[in-house]
Structure 1
Amino acid sequence: MSKIKHIFHLISYLQYPAMLTGLFYTFIPYLDGANADLEHLNNALVFVGLGISLSTLQDTAKTQNKLFKLILENPKKGKTIIVLLSVITFLILVLGIFGIFFSGIHMLNELYFGLILLGVGLIGFLKSAIEVMENARI
Structure 2
Amino acid sequence: MNWSSVPDSVLHDILEAVSFNSDGLITAIAQDETRHVLMLAWMNKEALAETLKTGRVCYYSRSRQSLWRKGETSGQEQHLLSADLDCDMDAILLTVRQKGVACHTGRRSCFYQSVTPQGLTENAAPDISPEQLYHSKN
Q: TM-score, normalised by structure 1?
A: 0.25
State the structure with more CA Rg.
Answer: 1
Please state which structure has a larger fraction of its residues in strand. 2
Calculate the TM-score normalised by the size of structure 2.
0.25
